Amino acid sequence: MFVVFSIMNDLTLSEIWIYPVKSLGGIRLQQARVLEKGLEFDRRWMLVDEQNRFITQREHPQLALFQLAMNNEQLTIRHQANAASAQFDMNDFSAQQELVTIWDDEVQAVEVGREISQWFSDQLNMKCRLMHFPETNSRPVDKHYALHQEQVSLADGYPFLIIGQASLDDLNVRLPQPITMQRFRPNFVFTGGQPYEEDHWTNFSIGDVNFAGVKNCSRCVLTTIEPSTGTKGIEPLHTLSTYRQHNNKIYFGQNLLALSEGMVHEGDRIRHS
């Protein structure tokens, strides 16, 4: 348990993001509830193919064109290229559980509904289904990095990701054209401090909620997809590889586990023990 905190060079939580449907657009929030598996509603849904395997922008960059909005219990999805839209009740889904695959994990999930699955199939010109991952279902964090046998949602591996604005600013100075933070899909963005200092964070708090940094985040080709167009390039991985590569992996951001639950808000101070 943390007892005494000191302010980390006047660091401030500047942005909070959730990505309700894995690999689709994010939603910026002014406040969010921290749960063990991740922020409430963050990556609790994902699309799967006919083999019940997860679908992401890595193979289907057009997923970037789906923008999301949340209003009470309704989630609205809008395709920014053709303006087609659909919505569903976030608490409404089938009771029939089935196995779906995400990376090397098999988890139990339930289909949201045939109508919304068909809408996505029509938009993507491929058969797919929208699945929900109930809060009570199990998906353990990698045992090599878990602290207390934590669980994770449908995020790639960890419940939370934090990146400093100073880190992106430093990268943008090196890039031919600047990019936005959304290339990296963080949950938390903070201002203040030095570039890449989040690499070294261990125990710290955002407001009244305690976190632990457990693993620097290795980055993939998804970061090369421009969210506004769904087009793929070579940056920022090409530039990051010149100074952020280690053991054949490129790192940007820090993966986190929550040591407590509660609310976080834009403007919260960040403190370490």
Does the CA dihedral 15-16-19-20 come out positive or negative?
A: negative
* Residue owning tokens 């101070």: 269
Strand ranges for 104-206 from DSSP E: 105-111, 129-132, 160-164, 188-191, 203-206
Judged against a pLDDT cut of 50, whether residue 2 lies above it is answered with: no
CA distance 97 to 81: 33
Least Cα distance to 56 among 38, 43, 68, 75 occurs for 43
The whole-model pTM stands at 0.95
Confidence of residue 34 (pLDDT cuts 50, 70, 90): very high
Are 122 and 146 in contact by the 8 Å Cβ rule? The answer is no
Which residue segments constitute the domains of the chain, with CATH numbers given? 6-272 (2.40.33.20)
The β-bridge relationship of strands 160-164 and 188-191 is parallel
Number of C-beta neighbours around residue 125 at 10 A? 8
Confidence band of 8 (pLDDT split at 50, 70, 90): low
32-57 average pLDDT score: 98
Residue position matching structure tokens 């057009």? 62
* Residues 51, 132: Cα–Cα separation, whole Å: 16
Give backbone dihedrals phi and psi of 25, rounded to 5 degrees, phi first.
-60, 160
Mind giving me the DSSP string for 50-68? Answer: TTSBB--TTT-GGGGGEEE
Per the CB < 8 A criterion, the answer to whether 153 and 139 are in contact is yes
The answer to whether the CB of 219 falls within 8 A of the CB of 184 is yes
From 240, 220, 241, 243, select the one nearest 232 (Cα to Cα): 220
Q: How confident is the model at residue 5 (pLDDT cuts 50, 70, 90)?
A: very low
The lowest-confidence range among 6-15, 20-29, 40-49, 154-163 is 6-15
Residue 31 has pLDDT above 50, yes or no: yes
Output the CA–CA distances (angstroms, integers) from residue 81 to 85, 123, 204, 226, in the order listed. Answer: 11, 10, 41, 14
Distance (Å, whole) CA 127 – CA 52: 11
- Is the pLDDT at 178 greater than 50? The verdict is yes
Q: Rounded to an integer, what distance in angstroms lies between the CA atom of residue 165 and that of residue 176?
A: 18
Percent of the chain with pLDDT over 90: 93
Confidence of residue 171 (pLDDT cuts 50, 70, 90): very high
pLDDT at 212 over 80: yes
144-175: burial string, b at 16+ Cβ within 10 Å, e else: eeeeeebbbbbbbbbbbbbbbbbbbeebeeee
Q: How confident is the model at residue 93 (pLDDT cuts 50, 70, 90)?
A: confident
Q: How confident is the model at residue 6 (pLDDT cuts 50, 70, 90)?
A: very low
Say if residue 266's pLDDT is above 70: yes
Q: What is the pLDDT of residue 206?
A: 98
Mean pLDDT of 64-76: 96
Q: Which residue has the higher pLDDT, 168 or 9?
A: 168
pLDDT value for 1 = 28
